[in-house]
Amino acid sequence: MRRLDLAAPETFETFAAGITAPIDVLINNAGIFGPKPHTIADVGPALFERILRVNTLGPVLLARALLDRVAASEGKKLVTMTSRMGSFGANTSGSAPMYRASKAAVNMLMQCLSIEVAPRGVGVLLLHPGWVRTTMGGEQADLNVADSALGIRRVIDGFDPTERLALRAWDGRDLPW
C-alpha cells in the first residue's frame, strides 16, 4: 500500500509514475467533514475549498492519473468512497452542507468519468461505507469498522465493470442519486 495526500494534487503524476503494474481495483478513499455540526452559516471560502480539494478534486485527479493502469488490468474497477450524504434524493436534514456538496460533486464527476472510460471497459463504483464508528463517524455511529470493511469488500468483489456505474451502500443496496 502506498499513501498519498489527496490535498496535494500536484504530487499525483509523480505518484502515478511510480506505479507500473496494472491496477485491478483502485480505491479512492478521502474524506474530511468540516466542523461538527455545520450549517450554511458556516460556509466560508477557505474551509469549503479545503473540503472540496480533498473530497472532490483529489479523487478525480488521482483517478485520472492512474486510469491507464486500471484500464490495463483484468479487474478494471475504479472505486470512490462517497457518502449517502452526497445524495440529493436522500437529503432530508440539510445538515453538513459543505460535506454534502463535496460528496455530491465527486459523485457527479465520477459519473461523467464513467461515460468517458466505458469504451475502455472500466467500471466506476461509488461506495457509501455506512455510518461507521471512526473519528469522523463518532462513537454513536451504527457500524463498527470490521463490518463496514467486510461489506465494502463484498460490494467491490460483486461489482461488474460492464455495469459501468453504480452508487451503492456497504450492504449492497443501490442508493438514490
Decide if domain 22-169 falls under CATH 3.40.50.720. yes
41-47 long-range CB contacts below 8 Å, 24 or more apart? 42/98, 43/97, 43/98, 47/98
41-67 pLDDT per residue, tens: 999 999 999 999 999 999 999 999 999
At 94, the pLDDT band (50, 70, 90 cuts) reads confident
CA distance 170 to 149: 8
Q: What is the mean pLDDT of residues 13-31?
A: 93
Boundaries of every domain in the chain: 22-169
At 123, the pLDDT band (50, 70, 90 cuts) reads very high
Which residues are annotated as catalytic? Answer: 99
| pLDDT of amino acid 8 | 86
Closest CA to 4 of 28, 25, 22, 24: 28
User: pTM for the full model?
Assistant: 0.92
| Cβ neighbours for 44, distance < 8 A, ≥ 6 positions apart | none
Q: Is the pLDDT of residue 78 over 90?
A: yes
140-169 pLDDT per residue, tens: 878 888 999 999 999 999 999 999 999 999
| pLDDT of amino acid 92 | 87
| pLDDT of amino acid 38 | 84
Q: Among positive and negative, which fits the CA dihedral 100, 105, 108, 114? A: negative
| pLDDT of amino acid 28 | 92
| pLDDT of amino acid 84 | 92
